[in-house]
Amino acid sequence: MIYVPYSVPAVLLALALFFKIPTFIRAWRNPEVRATTLLLVWATAAFTVIIPVNIERLNEVTGVPNIAAPWAYSFLTASGATGLAMIMRWSEEPSEHRRRKIRRIYAIYTGMIVVLWVTFFLADAPDVRIYDLDTYYASTPWMREHILLYLLAHFTTCSASAFMLWKWFKAVQNPWLKSGVVFLQGSFVLGLAFDISKLTAITARWSGADWDWLSTKAAPPLALMEGVFAAIGFITPQAGPALKEWNQNRREYRRLRPLWRAVLVLAPAAATARFGYWVPLELRLLQRRQRIHDSLRLLAPYYNTALYHQAYTEADTTYPEPKARAIAGAVAIRDAISAYTNGTPVSVSGQSPRIGAEITDHIDAISVALDSPATANSLHQRATGTESMNAHA
């Protein structure tokens, strides 16, 4: 159970990466898409490596004590470089100057990663330290430089990224992206707090004081929350619109159910594929819409336009205009289905039978009205009674 908090940011970052993969497959040539995907890969790898059980496994598999340190710090540094490049692409117009700055960032951070590995192998760090490596080796030659280098790289990344996002924030119009930027800013602020806690504990060690709790107790939750906020920051712009679209499709799918069930008695022009619940909602919704529109074409010879207008006139005296149209449409569709079942088409001389926009433009509302059969029946009786009286007048 002690490892669970360490796993949360890794899982969330992996989830953010999962949401990004379809976009990467479609647009891998786009530099922004590549940068975002790489950042998530490096960040996920970094937070996966620092899970204590994975640190122990790396030590056992490689036989090198504390080998997880350069791996985690390298992934963290790589994600920082990619993050800075990504934010530059977001906030600056394409130019040769921007390309030079991005290349310079990659070169500097690549050099830092090389130096991280060099200093680690030059250091003498035989004692395995899972939770307090930074303070335990704070005064050890080369290991000291190794630790300070990753903290310096991380501090530079967080401060520069937070500043650039703060400048760019006002120009962001998309609400989902804006929310993502807020979480990313929070992530970088937490990262700065993490660096300050670590550096303060290390400085205290150099002075002979014992403030190790800042590194072992205060800093880890800040790092974990940094990962959580970063994951949410990347997930929100991706998952937010997708979730909104799914919710809209789900509502429409349910609204169309009464009309879809009503037209099931009609023989379709061709056999339709049966989709199960494992099929994406948008495909099931597309099939439901198609079945309804195919059925309306079959109902065209049986559709009574005069009945629709009479029903609308009656409904308009009681209901608001949109609801009156919906109920009148429900009355006319039910009547057409009944006529189809009985084989009694409506004869319209000199005209090809068709169902007009009063039905096809209001499918959702008509379907909802069909779910209230008592209201449609009452209006049908009133409309047909009025129509009969007008015929005998």
| Segment 121-175, tens digit of pLDDT | 999 999 999 889 999 999 999 999 999 999 999 999 999 999 999 988 888 888 8
| Segment 113-122, tens digit of pLDDT | 999 999 999 9
pLDDT at 390: 47
Label residue 135 exposed, middle or buried (CB < 10 Å: 0-12, 13-18, 19+): buried
| Segment 298-352, tens digit of pLDDT | 898 898 888 899 889 888 888 899 999 999 999 999 999 998 988 888 866 556 6
Q: For residue 73, which of 106, 117, 31 has the smallest C-alpha distance?
A: 117
Of 19-28, 292-301, 331-340, 354-363, the one with minimum mean pLDDT is 19-28
| Segment 65-74, tens digit of pLDDT | 999 999 999 9
Q: What are 261-269's contacts with CB under 8 Å, separation 24+?
A: 262/333, 262/334, 262/337, 262/370, 263/291, 263/292, 263/295, 263/296, 263/299, 263/337, 265/337, 265/340, 265/341, 266/295, 266/298, 266/299, 266/337, 266/340, 267/298, 268/294, 268/295, 269/294, 269/297, 269/298
| Segment 59-112, tens digit of pLDDT | 889 999 999 999 999 999 998 898 888 888 878 888 899 889 999 999 999 999
Write down the pTM of the prediction: 0.72
Cα R_g (the chain), whole angstroms: 33
- DSSP letter for 30, please: -
